[in-house]
Amino acid sequence: MKILITGFEPMYRYWNVNPSWEAVSRLPDEIGGAEIIKLRLPIVFSKATELLERHIAELRPDAVVSVGQSGAANCIQIERIGVNINDCHGVPDNDEDAPQDRIIREDGDAAYFCTLPTRKMIETLRAHGIPADLSEHAGCHLCNHATYTAAYLRAKKYPHMRTGFIHVPFLRSQCLSAGNKRYTMELDVTVRALELALETLASEL
């Protein structure tokens, strides 16, 4: 049983750290009997697609869980849907690509539901004192791009594979360096939240 979990590199224009990868990289290599395989994705639309596709094809994981940061998150947010659109709203990726109203897959559905046990994950996190909630979809930037890409591959090639996305809040250092006030979560809490979420997922694979 294999779970591929991804985090993102920093968005270098703004930060030198990304809590998604910081947390993913600290996860153990085995959770709930599942092998945990970690992958760092670039914040570049084309490169992220190629890397994710290649690793899924090579590994044939039982599940793919992508993780990303959200400045709007006031808790761990587990996403429900990936939508077939890339739109940066003026915030380009790390290669200065700034798509607007760009379809991700011409032969893909308008949206795909994530297939993680979202509500069970939320219940588990809350039972351990970690704030968590359901989010309707992962925006239209790289986070949604990863969500939709994995779900598309599940629909087209790997029907056994479960896919989904988790948004995590900023680290305190990001807010201090940016001089803004946002909800933050300590890194060890974020790591624990991901562990619990993957443990819940593993129990259903």
Would you please indicate which residues are annotated as catalytic (active-site) residues? 79, 143, 167
Beta carbons within 8 Å of 172's beta carbon, 6+ residues apart: 184, 186
How far apart, in whole angstroms, are the C-alpha atoms of residue 141 and residue 89? 8
How far apart, in whole angstroms, are the C-alpha atoms of residue 127 and residue 169? 19
Half-sphere exposure of 99 (CA within 13 A, CB side): 15
Burial of 84 (0-12, 13-18, 19+ CB in 10 A): buried
Query: What are the structure tokens assigned to 9, written together?
Result: 């590199």
Number of residues that make up the chain:
205
3-class secondary-structure state, position 146:
helix
- Pairing relationship of beta strands 30-31 and 111-113 according to DSSP bridges: unpaired
